[in-house]
Structure 1
Amino acid sequence: MLDMEKATSLAQKFLDEKVSHAGMTFALVEGERIQVGRVFYFDCQSVAYLRSGDLRDMAVGTGYVCVDGETGECRMLGAAESARLDLF
């Protein structure tokens, strides 16, 4: 079973390699992380928004990053699925 530190590292690596692109890079939102059973959830947002707070820089329609604590597999949840979980 992964610990929070390893899951955090995997989540950021996933954002860097699979989600971020030339037009928008993503980062984990500080303090917005939780473990539910064997699954870790992380809130994320565009780096530009996290730096500026300007709504024009906000990534809209993204959900949480989900890390399976057993396998380390990462995936991005959709906005609707994330809203139903209501974790943060």
Structure 2
Amino acid sequence: MEISVELTFSPLQDAYEPQIIRLIKALRASGLTVLENPMSTQVYGAYTKVMELLTKEMYTSLEGVEQGVFYLKMVKTDRSDYEPHF
């Protein structure tokens, strides 16, 4: 099963950028399709691969901050090639 995940990580601390950068670099290095914009990061691929990656990297990210919040949306399909039709 293919999925699309939109992920936003918000460390609740002043020095938040290094943890966000670490997470994005880890996602990029995964071999999965990863797209970024200023508000979130999208990860696309097989359910088991995406979820294994996110479980590991979300844990590592939360370990690296005193407090943090993840926002996540998931769709059951690979939407990485989406283009507006209007």
Structure-2-length-normalised TM-score = 0.26
In our comparison, the structure showing a higher alpha carbon Rg is: 2
Q: Which has the higher contact order (CA 8 A, sep 6+)?
A: 2
TM-score where L is the length of structure 1: 0.26
